[in-house]
Amino acid sequence: MTTKTNLPEIKPYPSKDGSLIRELMHPNQHSVQQQSLAEAIVPAGATTALHRHRESEEIYHILSGSGHMSLGDDAFNVGPGDSVCIPPGTAHCLRNTGTQELRLLCCCAPAYSHNDTEIL
């Protein structure tokens, strides 16, 4: 199993919420066992689908761009350097409010799974 990855070498795919994902570390492909780490991209003007994960706790860390996060009953702006904790079962979505793509790291524990993603 792989213990090191390189972002430009990873092929992106669309996730269930509509963002473009690159799995940097995932148990299905790499030596990590209990979590996953991905880069997500939300295009300018786009919004991810409102969704929740029944089991996974997520952490979003914004790398570049600007956005507006809806998280349960809260809503707030996010930008580079911001990190957001998303508890399991909490409805959330992210809207890109800028003119450039919104790039973020997404860490999930347990690891991301399409089956654990419920579109609302």
Question: How confident is the model over 22-37, as pLDDT tens digits?
Answer: 999 998 888 899 999 9
Sign of the alpha-carbon dihedral angle for 63, 44, 77, 34: negative
Domains and CATH numbers, the chain: 12-119 (2.60.120.10)
- For the segment 6-10, the average pLDDT, to the nearest whole number, is 92
What is the pLDDT, as a whole number, of residue 2?
79
* Global model pTM greater than 0.75: yes
Among 25-29, 65-69, 71-75, which is the least confidently predicted range? 25-29
